[in-house]
């Protein structure tokens, strides 16, 4: 029976979670990136092999690249986008030459991900990542001051945002801005001025245009990937709905169906993130696993809990709204059908126990992910027994 490959995201030598910690968690594969390479520049074979040697020295394997970041010029198809695509293709070829089998990327405009707090207190005292529409509206309308931002929100959300803005302290507003802008690639600390500039690049780009740009990019890099023997895995939008006036094109089943059929080859595929996709009540995750099938090349397994307004926090891996039992069962069935093991990692995790006293990368503290990995590992073993029967 084919089991999932257990992997762990590692941010390199400066990660507070060491490779020794990863080994003790029981993972065998590492998911990492060359974060020190400037945004849009080439990953050289020398730099890739240097990181690979660090991983292998600890008896681990570099299983997945996450991520080679896509330059904004490529997403908007403006400026030197062709040059950046060529650089991207070179990085793909170089990763393949170093025998790293999967490359993950995303096509989210401006922000790689968006939350409104990184320390949402759970009933057990642990801390989770959280997305709240009212707080996003406070940021968008009153801090960022995006033109006509209020039209992006319901009257109820806009009214709540106005009241909340009046009651927030200067410190609370600054903290909110820092969190929302934390997902801007290539920025040490984002600024509202810089963010507005980036948003302006998308003034004339709607969902159809962005979808065309995505497929153009996928076609270009797929050719390099097929020649090199490496798989490509696009990560869903996070969260999976339009925010800050930006379109989203990797959020729902019809999105995946569109680009996988438009650029249909052996390498163009998906990083199936149950947390990102599960933040939308419209997504049926077990059915999506069935529908995407062999085009799933990598898995992020985590859970979320949503309320009626669409706010969500990241729940325990086996808690929340996503039926993780049904999802993992479909994944295991898929693996047996196609005779392969998919790499997965426990995605995010609560900051808990001793990690509450430590400085950690948001969502990537050790103990919460250790718990998630153990839970998914146990769930998998139990489900494999049912599949054998």
Q: Which of 153, 165, 313, 364 is an active site residue?
A: 364
CA distance 246 to 210: 10
CA distance 246 to 110: 9
| Strands 127-131 and 117-121, bridge-based pairing | antiparallel
Looking at residue 80, the DSSP 8-state letter turns out to be T
Q: Is 300 one of the annotated active-site residues of the chain?
A: yes
CA end-to-end distance (rounded Å), the chain = 12
Q: Tokens at residue 138, please? A: 């406070």
DSSP structure string for 286-314: HHHHHHHGGGEEEEEE-EEEE-TTS-EEE
Q: Is 71 one of the annotated active-site residues of the chain?
A: no
CA distance 221 to 205: 22
Q: Tokens at residue 5, please? A: 């490959």
CA distance 95 to 112: 22
The strand order across the sheet containing 303-306 reads 117-121, 127-131, 312-315, 303-306
Q: Which of 71, 297, 317, 348 is an active site residue?
A: 348
Q: Tokens at residue 4, please? A: 């999932």
Q: Which of 317, 347, 350, 355 is an active site residue?
A: 347
Q: Which of 15, 71, 81, 235 is an active site residue?
A: 235
In sequence order, the 6+-apart residues with CB closer than 8 A to the CB of 154 are none
Q: Is 35 one of the annotated active-site residues of the chain?
A: no
Q: Tokens at residue 102, please? A: 């999967």
CA distance 209 to 77: 9
Q: Is 39 one of the annotated active-site residues of the chain?
A: no
Q: Tokens at residue 288, please? A: 């999506």
| Strands 231-235 and 268-273, bridge-based pairing | parallel
What interhelical angle do 207-228 and 81-97 show, nearest 10? 40
Q: Which of 273, 316, 317, 355 is an active site residue?
A: 273
Q: Which of 81, 130, 202, 300 is an active site residue?
A: 300
| Tally: H helices and E strands in the chain | 14, 12
Least Cα distance to 304 among 145, 129, 71 occurs for 129
Residues taking part in catalysis: 235, 273, 300, 347-348, 364
């Amino acid at each position: 029976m084919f089991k999932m490959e257990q992997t762990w995201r590692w941010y390199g030598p400066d990660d507070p979670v060491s490779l020794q910690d990863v080994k003790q968690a029981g993972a065998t594969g590492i998911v990492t990136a060359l974060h020190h390479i400037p945004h849009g520049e080439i990953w050289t074979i020398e730099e890739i092999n240097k990181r690979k040697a660090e991983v292998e020295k600890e008896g681990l394997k570099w299983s997945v690249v996450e991520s080679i970041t896509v330059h904004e010029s490529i997403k908007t198809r403006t400026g030197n986008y062709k040059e950046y695509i060529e650089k991207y293709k070179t990085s793909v070829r170089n990763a393949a030459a170093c025998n790293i089998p999967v490359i993950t990327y995303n096509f989210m405009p401006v922000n790689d991900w968006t939350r409104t707090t990184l320390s949402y207190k759970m009933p057990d005292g642990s801390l989770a990542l959280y997305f709240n529409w009212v707080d996003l509206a406070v940021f968008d309308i009153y801090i960022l001051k995006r033109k006509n931002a209020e039209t992006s929100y319901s009257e109820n959300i806009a009214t709540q945002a106005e009241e909340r803005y009046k009651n927030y302290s200067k410190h609370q507003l600054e903290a909110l801005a820092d969190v929302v802008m934390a997902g801007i690639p290539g920025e040490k600390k984002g600024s509202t001025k810089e963010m507005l500039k980036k948003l302006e690049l998308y003034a004339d780009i709607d969902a159809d245009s962005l979808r065309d740009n995505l497929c153009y990019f996928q076609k270009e890099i797929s050719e390099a990937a097929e020649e090199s023997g490496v798989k490509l895995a696009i990560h869903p939008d996070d969260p999976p709905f339009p925010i800050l006036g930006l379109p989203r094109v990797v959020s729902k089943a019809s999105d995946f169906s569109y680009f996988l059929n438009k650029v249909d080859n052996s390498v163009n595929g998906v990083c199936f993130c149950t947390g990102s996709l599960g933040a939308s009540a419209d997504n049926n995750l077990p059915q999506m696993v069935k529908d995407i099938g062999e085009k799933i090349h990598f898995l992020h397994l985590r859970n979320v809990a949503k309320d009626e307004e669409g706010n969500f926090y990241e729940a325990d891996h086996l808690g929340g709204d996503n039926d993780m039992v049904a999802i993992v069962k479909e994944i295991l069935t898929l693996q047996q059908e196609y005779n392969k093991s998919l790499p997965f990692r426990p995605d995010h995790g609560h900051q808990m126990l001793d990690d509450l006293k430590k400085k950690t990368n948001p969502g990537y503290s050790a103990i919460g992910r250790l718990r998630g990995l153990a839970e998914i590992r146990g769930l998998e073993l139990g489900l494999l027994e049912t599949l054998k029967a």
